Amino acid sequence: GFPEALVRGMRSGFLSDQDYHHLTQCDTLEDVKMNLAETDYGAGVLNEPTLTPLIMQERATEKLVTDFNYLRANAVEPLGKFMDFITYEYMIENVMLLLRGTISGRNVNELIAQCHPLGMFKESTMRTIPTFEANARGYAELYEVVLVDTPVGPYFQQYLDSIASGVSVAGDVRNVLEEVQIEILKHSLMKLYLEDFYFFCKSLGGETAEIMCPILSARADRNAINITLNSFGTPLNDPTMRETERKNLYPSIGDLYPAGLELLSKVDDDQKLGAALNAFPIYRTIFDKFLNLSPDEFSIDDEFYRKEVHLCEL
């Protein structure tokens, strides 16, 4: 019906290989503008006196957001819910940005300008988020006052329940974690969000499940590996912390669940991580490259991103 036709139209508006080929042959910014004029991006860049990468990115994001909102306005359930799930990811990122920004003491207006447009809350909500403290009590207050009305409220609720139950055990190490608390919050929220999205897609069944579930699994695995990698050398890597805190951050979906995650929760350096990934050939190849090449030639994030894009293209 109507949304399907809209999506097809938007899909055919993507820049093709030929467009990119022409763009690489341009010598000046004027040429680039001329080449873009015939595509869907032409309207955005037409009136710019100078074209910088930043402006290009802004215009492209604007176009994405406009198209996304148009489609969302015309979508019926369950497409509407699916599209909302996509925005939750950006909402979580925005909340994290605002919280992190307050810790470093930046201006609220600057932070709001940097938020991703697909995950915006109401203006008033955005302004009150930075006023909360970045500790456990602050988060509880933040939730009760602001976030309970937003769609990401349930994820906060689950996170707060989990730390409330563990507070008696981990109370004495809470001070150690003051700096990493934000990261842990973000990873926990992402884990809950990914699981929710995964089960939603599964319940829709059919082609949605076939295509979305591998993508979400790959994302979950990538998060798990990244968490493990980034935790080497931080307090999170102590044997006591590993079992309780780090393991809680791994999502319970994906190829690595449950056997791989068991192995991952026991490693504490790169070599052991490589050994743990032996059973999963795809991740093993990526990780081998990471171990053998220097960071200049190879970035593990790029590899994962490439794999995810490949899955999305199918």
Q: Does residue 10 interact with other proteins by CB under 8 A?
A: yes
Task: Please report how close the Cβ of residue 73 comes to other proteins at its closest, in angstroms.
Answer: 13
Q: Which stretch binds other proteins (CB under 8 A): 1-9, 47-55, 169-177, 224-232?
A: 1-9
What's the CA gap between 290 and 296, in Å, rounded?
11
Task: Please report how close the Cβ of residue 178 comes to other proteins at its closest, in angstroms.
Answer: 51
What's the CA gap between 307 and 299, in Å, rounded?
13
What's the CA gap between 215 and 112, in Å, rounded?
30
Q: Which stretch binds other proteins (CB under 8 A): 3-11, 131-139, 281-289, 302-310?
A: 3-11
For residues 13 and 42, which CB has a smaller minimum distance to other proteins in the complex?
13
Task: Please report how close the Cβ of residue 80 comes to other proteins at its closest, in angstroms.
Answer: 16
Q: Which stretch binds other proteins (CB under 8 A): 7-15, 23-31, 89-97, 196-204?
A: 7-15
Instruction: Record the tokens describing residue 283, joined without a space.
Output: 């991740």
Nearest in space to 11 (alpha carbons), one of 313, 259, 215, 310: 313
- Please state whether 293 falls in left (phi above 0), alpha (psi between -120 and 50) or beta: beta
Nearest in space to 180 (alpha carbons), one of 241, 243, 251: 241
For residues 76 and 279, which CB has a smaller minimum distance to other proteins in the complex?
76
Among 5, 73, 113, 314, binds other proteins (CB under 8 A): 5
Task: Please report how close the Cβ of residue 17 comes to other proteins at its closest, in angstroms.
Answer: 17
> Which pairs count as long-range contacts for 112-118, CB under 8 Å and 24+ apart, including other chains?
116/61, 116/90, 117/61, 117/62, 117/65, 118/64, 118/65, 118/68, 118/86, 118/87, 118/90
Task: Please report how close the Cβ of residue 12 comes to other proteins at its closest, in angstroms.
Answer: 6
Task: Please report how close the Cβ of residue 16 comes to other proteins at its closest, in angstroms.
Answer: 13
Instruction: Record the tokens describing residue 281, joined without a space.
Output: 């050939």
Site size for other proteins, by CB under 8 A? Answer: 11
Q: Does residue 80 interact with other proteins by CB under 8 A?
A: no
Q: Which amino acid is residue 123, in one-letter code? A: E
Among 4, 123, 297, 313, binds other proteins (CB under 8 A): 4
Residues of this chain, 12-71, that bind other proteins according to CB under 8 A: 12-13
Contact set with other proteins (CB under 8 A): 1-6, 8-10, 12-13
